[in-house]
């Protein structure tokens, strides 16, 4: 089942059961500590609340600064699965809490000839030694830091077949489709796991569900951290940018 269809099926079911506990789809009476809410609260992305440490500057690398990255994207993944959002509301889970954050390098203008990163050419296939391109700068930073290049915007995604990347003018591509889709699939699996063993029937439902979400964040973080080891392709499918994907693909 395509990820969009899977999300739609899940959301339709949750709308049908919105008067029930989101963790077990039973009545709310008798549940411990659950916040009784029927309406979805607005999900807001607040990277500054992730409290990510700044990445040390490596001498000789192209200029870069630190981006606070949501391991479970707040808007592109978490917000799309309504039942997970209701579960989070019920137990007080915070998508912007520190366990869901990871510092990644991103651009720091200006670059060559006092130009903004977005104004530089994408790549120079005819002259791979040209260091005045977006890809060359990104790779220089990734080699220096051992971390994936984070582009900030998630408006542009790579097609699922990976064969014809879509560029948006001089803007960067955002998360790979495979990143967001993979996280969403993990969230949908968590829905099923919680239903099979409802944490709302115990006195520890709050910490248990939050622990499961934090474990999911850790799983994604572990994959991203593989990028700085010997084989960056082991981060697959969790590439936060097309730049990171292309670099890892060359080392597959």
Residue found by looking up tokens 């959002």 in the block: 85
User: How many domains are contained in the chain?
Assistant: 1
Half-sphere exposure of residue 27: CA atoms within 13 angstroms, side-chain side: 2
The domain of 127 spans 3-250
C-alpha dihedral, 51 to 53 to 54 to 55, nearest 10°? -140
Is residue 223 a contact partner of residue 238, using CB atoms and an 8 Å limit?
A: yes
Query: Nearest Cα to 38, choosing from 51, 28, 30?
Result: 28
The pLDDT profile of the chain, 252 residues, written as one tens digit per residue, is 688 899 999 999 999 998 888 888 887 766 655 665 556 778 999 999 999 999 999 999 999 999 999 999 999 999 999 999 999 988 889 999 999 999 999 999 999 989 999 999 988 877 877 888 999 999 999 999 999 999 754 433 554 444 333 333 344 545 546 788 899 999 999 998 887 766 676 656 567 889 999 999 999 999 999 999 889 999 998 999 989 998 999 888
User: How far is the C-alpha of 31 from the C-alpha of 202, rounded, in Å?
Assistant: 8
pLDDT confidence of residue 93: 93
| pTM given for the model | 0.86
pLDDT confidence of residue 199: 67
């Amino acid at each position: 089942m395509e990820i969009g269809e899977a999300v739609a099926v899940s959301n339709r079911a949750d709308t049908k059961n919105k008067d029930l506990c989101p963790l077990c789809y039973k009545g709310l009476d008798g549940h411990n500590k659950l916040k009784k809410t029927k309406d979805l609260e607005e999900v807001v992305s607040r990277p500054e609340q992730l409290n990510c440490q700044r990445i040390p500057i490596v001498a000789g690398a192209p200029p870069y600064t630190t981006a606070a990255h949501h391991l479970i994207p707040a808007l592109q993944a978490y917000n799309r699965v309504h039942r997970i959002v209701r579960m989070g509301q019920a137990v007080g889970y915070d998508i912007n809490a520190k366990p869901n954050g990871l510092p990644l390098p991103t651009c720091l203008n200006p670059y060559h000839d006092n130009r903004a990163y977005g104004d530089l050419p994408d790549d120079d296939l005819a002259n791979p030694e040209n260091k005045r391109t977006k890809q060359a700068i990104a790779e220089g930073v990734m080699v220096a830091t051992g971390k994936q290049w984070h582009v900030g915007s998630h408006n542009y995604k790579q097609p699922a077949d990976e064969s014809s990347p879509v560029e948006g003018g001089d803007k960067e591509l955002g998360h790979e489709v495979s990143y967001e889709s993979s996280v969403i699939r993990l969230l949908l699996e968590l829905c099923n796991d919680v239903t099979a063993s409802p944490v709302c029937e115990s006195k520890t439902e709050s910490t248990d569900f939050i622990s499961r979400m934090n474990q999911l964040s850790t799983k994604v973080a572990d994959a991203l951290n593989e990028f700085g080891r010997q084989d960056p392709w082991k981060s697959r499918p969790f590439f936060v940018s097309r730049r990171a994907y292309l670099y890892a693909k060359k080392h597959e």
